[in-house]
Amino acid sequence: MTAPAPARVLVAMSGGVDSSVAAALLRDAGHDVTGVTLKLWGGESDSGCCSAADVEDARRVAAQLDIPHYVFNFADEFEAKIVDQYVDAHAAGETPNPCVECNRSIKFGRLLERAEALGFQYVATGHHARVRCHADGRYQLLRGVDSAKDQSYVLYMLGQRELRRTLLPVGELTKPEVRAHAARLGLRTATKAESMDVCFIKRGGRAQFLADRLEARPGPIVDEAGTVVGRHRGVATFTVGQRRGLGVAAGQRRYVLGVDAPSATVTIGRREELLRDGVDVRELCFVAEPPAAAATVTVQSRAHGRPVPGRLEGKRVRFDALQPRIAPGQVVALYDGDALLGGGIAA
């Protein structure tokens, strides 16, 4: 979606090339653009998008573009709403997606509120997705043009209120086109590597992060029949579908079928035992209207996972063909072609 010019736009600048080019495109389209970098993680970090170097990259790109740049400190809210909930979810045997929750609570929650209070008409980010406004005033959220970089999945929670205030300029470009545009402008982020990590997880990894915050709860590893086949040192680091690091010798590959946090029991089995005909979802929300009863949708359960056909039946998504069980806590996004319909959390 292109905003009527001129508009006051607050651009969330992470210090990466996508948000740098988003700011540049909006400036060149005649908008009154201000950049803001969010200080989210107050703890130690050596990866992700919250380092001092990233803030400096964003500040220097803003200077190159001759736009104002500020830093908003949302660290307390981030720790309470994202980090603490991440730890709690793992303790309960779930596999959360903190980047989704950050988009929900911080970038399209707290930041949007702050932008409105400061008189900005729009918030823009560097996400690879597209917003379309129809003649009747209804908004759609579409996959980004670059299917390999599409990020609509992590924005499944955006509704009409958020979309009418959101601009996603780079969703119309492929990643090579984004980098080429940054290079033409001489932006320092043109060749910067992408951040693929959760910003608050150090290189010690998820296991160490959780071990520092949760009391270890060792327990049994059992097969589908309930026979104990091994022991583990804590359920928090297991996720449904996992096949590496199980610590169990077996003649063929075994996968985590389930994690029962109250009893600290991890159940493993063969891949065929992992297959399900559907998944129950909670906290369902929709971009506009829910799909019609029995309508075919495509279902995506990972950020870059392969969509599969299915149907939404109340609060259950039914697959057309058996699929590996989706880990509780993961997002289940529903699409109609390139249009994101909405989604929920796997129960």
Residues 6+ apart with CB under 8 A from 136: none
What is the pTM assigned to this prediction? Answer: 0.92
Domain ranges in the chain?
A: 8-185, 215-269, 273-346
pLDDT > 90? residue 331: yes
Residues sharing a CB contact under 8 Å with residue 27, sequence separation 6 or more, in sequence order: 33, 65, 67
How would residue 200 be classed by pLDDT, with cut points 50, 70 and 90? Answer: confident
CATH code at 215-269? 2.30.30.280
Same fold, 8-185 and 273-346: no
pLDDT of 46 strictly over 50: no
**How far apart are the two ends of the chain, measured CA to CA in Å?**
34
- State the catalytic residue, choosing from 49, 99, 102, 133: 102
Average pLDDT estimate for 22-38: 97
Instruction: Report, at the CATH architecture level, how domain 273-346 is classified.
Output: Beta Barrel (2.40)
**Residues 233, 226 contacting (CB under 8 angstroms):** no
Q: What is the pLDDT of residues 274-306, one digit of tens each?
A: 999 999 999 999 999 999 887 899 999 998 889
Asked: is 8-185 a CATH 3.40.50.620 domain? The reply is yes
pLDDT > 60? residue 44:
no
* Active-site choice (49, 50, 199, 285): 199
285 catalytic? Reply is no
Contact (CB, 8 A) for 302 and 330: yes
The verdict on whether 102 is a catalytic residue reads: yes
